[in-house]
Amino acid sequence: MCKHRHRCDKFLSRYSVVGWSLPWLPVVIALVIDGVEPEAEFAPQYGLPQCWLNSPYGVYIYFLIPLTCMFVANFVTYILVVIRFSILAFQSRGVRKAHHEKIILSVKLFFAFGLLWIFGLLSAIFPGNAAFACIFIFTSSLNGLMLFLVFLCNEAVFKALKKFKSETSHSSSKPTNQTSQHSNTSGKANQS
């Protein structure tokens, strides 16, 4: 995708700086406000009775709003990438299958992990709704299963398993035939 290595490294370093530093912004702001104005309505009140954000405004300001912004940005980026892959698949017939597989993989990953965080966000926005919390806990506890379903439950794996099964069942029947043939030939040799 990237023709010039220097240009790719430049973009990667920029994206890395943004990706690694931006999440610290709400945390640093919350810590400063907690140190300067710990009794303010909008102070996060870290660790006061429990190890979490203990003020209702703090949860919204320092957790839900940044999480929602990140989620929206990730979703928009996801949609743009899927659109780009769709356009590339339509334009280039030679690599259409590869782009089609990337689109399918991205949709699978969205359902495996995107829905998880949608329910997490909904359970944080509506803390009284036990259904969102239960769905979030259930889906987050099944991440391994979701990865298994996304990456291993596909046509290529099923074909390989079917081939393996037929080879093992075929090879397990051969020794029985060879044993019976060997006993027949040894019996004939004893009779002569």
pLDDT digits (tens, 9 = 90+) for 157-170: 888 888 888 888 77
Q: How confident is the model at residue 95 (pLDDT cuts 50, 70, 90)?
A: low
- How far CA 19 is from CA of 10, 13, 24, 152, in Å, comes to 14, 10, 10, 30
CB atoms within 10 A of CB 7: 10
pLDDT (0 to 100) of residue 109: 77
Please name which of 30, 116, 36, 114 lies closest in space to residue 65, comparing C-alpha atoms: 30
CB atoms within 10 A of CB 51: 8
Residue 119: pLDDT above 70? yes
Q: Average pLDDT for residues 131-136, to the nearest whole number?
A: 86
Residue 183: pLDDT above 80? no
**172 CB-contact burial (10 Å; exposed 0-12 / middle 13-18 / buried 19+):** exposed
Residue 15: pLDDT above 70? yes
Q: Which of 78-82, 100-104, 111-115, 173-177 has the highest mean pLDDT?
A: 78-82
Domain edges within the chain: 25-162
pLDDT tens for 97-114 read 666 777 777 777 777 777
Residues 6+ apart with CB under 8 A from 31: 46
pLDDT (0 to 100) of residue 192: 45
Dist CA 41 CA 57 (whole Å) = 7
Q: Which residue has the higher pLDDT, 99 or 42?
A: 42
pLDDT (0 to 100) of residue 32: 92
Percent of the chain with pLDDT over 90: 1
Q: Average pLDDT for residues 60-85, to the nearest whole number?
A: 84
Dist CA 190 CA 186 (whole Å) = 6
Residue 38: pLDDT above 80? yes
**75 CB-contact burial (10 Å; exposed 0-12 / middle 13-18 / buried 19+):** middle
AA letter at 53: L
* Residues 90, 83 contacting (CB under 8 angstroms): no
